[in-house]
Chains A and B, each alone.
Chain A
Amino acid sequence: MSEDFAVATASAPRPGALSAAPLVALRGVRKAFFSGTVALEGLDLDVRDGEFLTLLGPSGCGKSTVLRLIAGLTAKSAGTIQWRGQPSLGFVFQEPTLAPWSDVQTNVWLPLRLKGVSKAAAGERIEEALARVGLTGFEKAYPRELSGGMKMRVSIARALVMRPALLLMDEPFAALDEITRSRLNDDLLSLRSTLGATIVFVTHSVYESVYLSTRITVMAPRPGRVVADIHVDAERPRNEEFRLSAYYADRCRETSAALQHAMGEA
């Protein structure tokens, strides 16, 4: 973990308590690459406990960069990124990014292994993580032997094995077919309700973002910045009925319009 993070308060909030301070707060964040390209400019973003926040925007608007900044995988050029408490996160990439030479359980073990936890000691948590993504029984399989959707499940299990407070997902389902994608969407939602994890999710898809999120942050490119913040009623259960509701259609229209506007502005 990089030392970029300023730790505001070390104590975690009481469960269920609505904390005033966001889990992660980005203020005036700027990111310029060596090439001179400005990926992000004056970005303010709060990630609040328990929310499903989606970053939506056209290519090149810096969505992925925001995730990488929060994860500490890249350094900001200016601004502050403040965590409440110690950073605790899992990262899911667009590709499953599994070690092809290791079987499923060894792949899921990785984060714990890097912290020096033996496989035997990690066994229960590996089992639990695999059970959560519906892959019990596939411990000994190699990535080659799995379908694209299953590989992505392994990748999610690996991110969950550390029980992170924040799950960062960078277009995780973009490379999957529509049927697999919609199944994984539903499974992700039920995972979220059991774990109560906070998720920041990046996607290109308006429909996916409205279906999954409690909040959608629309970004515009060149330089990347936030242009709209759309709330989706967190209380509504997400199912087929939700997908057919007028509420869903309205949110999609609203989001779509914001996205059009973001692209026109560029």
Chain B
Amino acid sequence: MNRATFEDYLFPTALFLIAVGGWEALVRINHIPSFVLPAPSQVLVTLYDDWGTLSRSLMVTLSITFEALFAAIVGGVALALGFRLWRPLERAFFPFAVVMQVTPVISIAPLLLVYLSSSAAVLVCAFLVAFFPILSNTALGLASADHNLIDLFELYGASSWQQLMMLRLPSALPYFLGGLRIGGGLALIGAIVAEIAAGSAGSGSGLAFRIVESGFRLNIPRMFAALLLISLTGILIFLFFTGLSYLLLHRWHDSARGRER
């Protein structure tokens, strides 16, 4: 057997199976009741049995996450472009962005719930956490175009529009995609956190709401099943944006290429 295949695939897979198998064995051997710790097999069974409810919640969480992410992309990129076009805007707006970023979303959520409907509050929370990494990364990317290339564009009499489209935007792309990968994960976290804060008061029916609800009912297997879906969603979002970065960058950017050995 090839050593690389072992190190790259077999060993991680084996470790994963051992961990899950150990968990299953622990529960079975000690007869741990499922309302304390359900076995992985039972979590899967619950996932299958409750798929109707859970899948509806998954769609709610997914749509909040992607709506928030979409708003964060539009807002973040637009504001970053605004910073680029008119510098005073950056000085005036950046403090707000920083305040929004450094204040933990869990502490803003209750306040938002006072002013907004719970579904709107959840959306705003998810937006707030996803917005900043996209804004700051895109702004950094737009500012980091090669100075000699800027000179060259000037030499050939390029318009500001040409400079933006052919130079600034492509230069910013790797940074923007980096921001998107962080923002994508954070949007999900923001949506979950806000929904937990809304708790039973909320009318929402996302995955976090299912967790809170199942907790009250001591339906621990369903808590685990919802948790599993949240993790899988996070992983899929991450993989999606990683794949997107690779597709867009692999021909030219160092970050998306393996080192030649």
Chain A residues with CB under 8 Å of chain B are: 1, 68, 71-73, 89, 91, 93, 95, 97, 99-102, 110-111, 113-115, 142-144, 162
> Which 9 pairs, one residue from A and one from B, show the smallest C-beta to C-beta distance?
A97-B148, A114-B156, A101-B170, A100-B252, A93-B148, A114-B158, A111-B156, A101-B252, A142-B252
A34 to B199, CA, bound (A): 60
The number of inter-chain residue pairs (CB within 8 angstroms) is 55
Assess whether B23 is interfacial by the CB under 8 Å rule. Answer: no
A143 engages B155 (CB within 8 Å): no
Question: A110 and B152 in contact (CB under 8 A), knowing A100-B252, A142-B251?
Answer: yes
User: How far in angstroms is the closest Cβ of chain A from B68?
Assistant: 29
Q: Are A73 and B146 in contact (CB under 8 A)?
A: no
**Quick one: which of A91, A101, A144 contacts B155, CB cutoff 8 A?**
A91
Cβ–Cβ contact B148 & A71, under 8 A: no
Tell me, yes or no, whether B154 is within 8 Å of chain A by CB: yes
Q: Are A143 and B252 in contact (CB under 8 A)?
A: yes
Mask for B220-240, Cβ within 8 A of A = 1, else 0?
A: 000000000000000000000
Contact between B148 and A115, CB atoms less than 8 A apart: no
Q: Name the residue on A nearest B173 (C-beta).
A: A101
Write out the residue numbers on chain A whose beta carbons fall within 8 Å of the beta carbon of B162.
114
Alpha-carbon gap, A68 to B254, bound state (A): 30
With A and B bound together, what is the CA distance between A262 and B215 in angstroms? Answer: 83
**Is there a chain A Cβ closer than 8 Å to B28's Cβ?**
no
A182 to B: closest C-beta gap in Å: 24
Asked whether any CB of chain A lies closer than 8 Å to the CB of B167, the reply is yes
Q: Apart from A72-B155, A89-B155, A162-B156, list 19 A-B contacts with CB within 8 A.
A: A1-B157, A71-B151, A73-B151, A73-B154, A91-B151, A91-B155, A97-B152, A99-B166, A99-B167, A99-B170, A101-B170, A101-B252, A102-B170, A102-B252, A110-B166, A113-B166, A114-B157, A114-B166, A144-B254
B70 at the interface (CB under 8 A from A): no
B interface, CB within 8 angstroms of A: 146, 148-149, 151-158, 162, 166-167, 170, 173, 251-254, 257
Cα A101 to Cα B254 in complex, Å, equals 11
Q: Which B residues are CB-close (under 8 A) to A68?
A: 151
* 24 A–B contacts from the bound complex (CB under 8 Å): A72-B155, A73-B151, A73-B154, A73-B155, A89-B155, A91-B151, A91-B152, A93-B151, A95-B148, A97-B146, A99-B149, A101-B170, A101-B173, A101-B251, A101-B253, A102-B252, A114-B156, A114-B158, A114-B162, A144-B251, A144-B252, A144-B254, A144-B257, A162-B156
CA A221 – CA B154 in complex, angstroms?
28
Are B155 and A100 interface neighbours, CB within 8 A? no
Instruction: Report whether B156 and A110 are in contact in the complex, using a CB–CB cutoff of 8 Å.
Output: yes
Closest to A113 in B: B166
Alpha-carbon separation in the docked complex, A100 to B170 (Å): 9
User: A214 CA to B33 CA in the complex, in Å?
Assistant: 93
**In whole angstroms, how far apart are the Cα atoms of A110 and B162 in the complex?**
11
Q: How far is the CB of A92 from chain B (nearest CB, A)?
A: 10
State A71–B157 Cα separation when bound (angstroms).
11
What separation, in Å, do the CA atoms of A211 and B234 have in the docked complex? 62
Give the residues in chain A near B166, CB-CB below 8 Å: 99, 110, 113-114
